[in-house]
Structure 1
Amino acid sequence: MQAHLANQPPANDDDLLAAGVEEIIAEHGGDARAAIRALLEQISYLKLARNRALDLVSRGYACGQLE
């Protein structure tokens, strides 16, 4: 999705968001439910990866108390 949007002239955030929505739906053959399902799966994966990463660092570092 990123590469396609990067080839377009700069636009406001709403235009970029709308283009992203259209693109993800197109990537799923026009099936909005499949696009939403894929996005939810990606969010779930990212949350899991974030939690695993936070488990690997000290609590103080993760909270931004150490630099």
Structure 2
Amino acid sequence: MPAVPEPSAPSAGDLELAADQAIAACGGDPREAVKALIVANGFLEAQVEELRASVSAGYSRPVRPPARSQGRLRCPR
């Protein structure tokens, strides 16, 4: 199981609907919609960096299989 899920591509219809909603939210001005999306993207990138910095190294380092024991097993006395 991968540590990070792979994003799925939205369908063409979903993209068209999202674009129409963004333009409508900006009063029908596509240039203003693009500017608003750029600002929103910058905000999300800043959040990702903040979260990345706050994650413990124990959660972000790769998982390694346990080392094999070399030699004979010893019984405790």
Fold shared by both chains (TM-score > 0.5): yes
Other-structure match for 1:53: 51
Matches within 5 A, 1:1-67: 13-62=11-60, 65=62
Identity of aligned residues (%): 28
Aligned residues: 54
- Write out the 4+ residue segments of structure 1 that deviate beyond 4 Å after TM superposition: none
The structure that has the greater radius of gyration is 2
RMSD between aligned residues: 1.8
Cα deviation for residue 56 of structure 1 reads 0.5
Deviations 1:32-63 (A, max 9, x none): 11101111111100000000011001245235
**Higher relative contact order by CA 8 Å / sep ≥ 6: 1 or 2?**
1
Structure showing the higher helix proportion among its residues: 1
Structure 1: gaps of 5 or more residues:
1-11
